[in-house]
Amino acid sequence: MERRIRVLVAKLGLDAHDRGAKVVARAYRDAGFEVIYTGLYQRPEQVAAAAVQEDVDVVAVSSLAGAHMTLIPELIQKLREQGADDVLVLAGGVIPRDDIPALKEAGVAEVFGPGSDLDEIVRFTQDSVIHRI
């Protein structure tokens, strides 16, 4: 039997805006994924450790407060250090278009900005990790 996709929805740093993270977590759950939500105020190393410990396929980071260029590359670095460099990293939230190339360069697979369709986020995630299942 196929196992379910495991996804860690994460909030990094001091960014308290969690509406998007929770909505996306729920959309994943409704799509049949196994979802773990980190809750607020997580350091990059904590999220990386949780990703390894929970053996997730995906880490989906939600950001509104503008620290994405500092904290997301740091998270990816920590994931690599812990040998979890095959985990799909997605980012969503208020991320200016100009920052997207650098984030992708750092290892983010896709960035979902404001107004993104929930079904599209789920579909993209499914298609990207299906080979792991």
Task: Report the interface residues with other proteins, using CB under 8 A.
Answer: 13-16, 18-19, 21-23, 25-27, 37, 39-41, 43, 65-67, 69-71, 94, 96-98, 113-115, 117-119
Output 67 or 106, the one with its CB closest to other proteins: 67
Output 113 or 133, the one with its CB closest to other proteins: 113
The minimum distance between CB 82 and other proteins, in angstroms, equals 20
CA distances to 37, 64, 90, 96, 108 from 113, in Å? 19, 10, 11, 8, 13
Residues 62, 11 contacting (CB under 8 angstroms): yes
